[in-house]
Amino acid sequence: MPTDARCLVETDESATVRLTGVLDRAGAEAARGALLARLWERPGPVRVDLSGLRIPDPSVRDDVLDEVRRAVADWPAAELLLDPAEPADPTDQPAPADLGDADLSPVAESAREARSLVTAGCLRWGLPELAEPACIAVTEMVNNVVAHAATPMTLRLAPRGDALHMAVRDHAGGRPAYAGPAPVDSVGGRGLLLIDTVARRWGSTPLPDGKVVWCVLYAEDEAAFRN
């Protein structure tokens, strides 16, 4: 998939993405966006091949790849491998069977479908204590898309140790901003507060044609809360 006239990000059905052409500062943002889009499109480890890329300034390459790795660190089932000999960590990424994925329409009923997927996943992965807080978080994530993005969305979730990683990808610009607790007399505006309350970490990642909003919940946090 082209990023600009200078740098191309080429993909096929394999787990390798190839960068060809010239990567300079002017093409860095487009290359970054194309890599992030590919990492969402193909769950699991993705290896980047730089053998066909000319890099006038190595710091640009390092900045782009480091930013992409940081951006996807908490996505469910996403990992960028930089070294051709670098093995994927089998303890860090779920097997294909241990991945929940659903395409949802921008309608209110999608929140119920999302909660069903999350509850079933938590039970299947031995994380029943996370079902309730994860349902709270995913309801707000889906409802935010319905209310503000109004585009089709994809929900993805996967376990990683005793944590549950969830993300919702939409096709609208703009990123959610959390400014702290809403005033007690306000109407609405509490969706991000609820996510912030139940998740240890959450954030959003811009894509060329939308964004990914993600969150991570830990079983130990829920156990501590209940005690």
Residue 174's pLDDT is what? 78
Parallel/antiparallel/unpaired status of strands 78-81 and 100-104: unpaired
Residue-range domains of the chain with CATH: 7-81 (3.30.750.24), 96-226 (3.30.565.10)
- Residue 59 CA: distances (Å) to CA of 24, 39, 41, 67, 86: 9, 22, 27, 12, 21
Per-residue pLDDT of the chain (227 residues; tens, 9 = 90+): 444 448 899 998 888 999 999 999 999 999 999 999 999 999 999 999 999 999 999 999 999 999 999 999 999 999 999 866 666 555 455 555 589 999 999 999 999 999 999 999 999 999 999 999 999 999 999 999 999 999 999 999 999 999 999 999 999 987 775 544 444 333 334 568 899 999 999 999 999 999 999 999 999 997 666 65
A 10 A CB-CB count for 10 gives 16
The whole-angstrom separation of Cα 93 and Cα 78 is: 7
Please name every residue paired with 214 in a beta bridge, in sequence order, or none if there are none: 167, 203
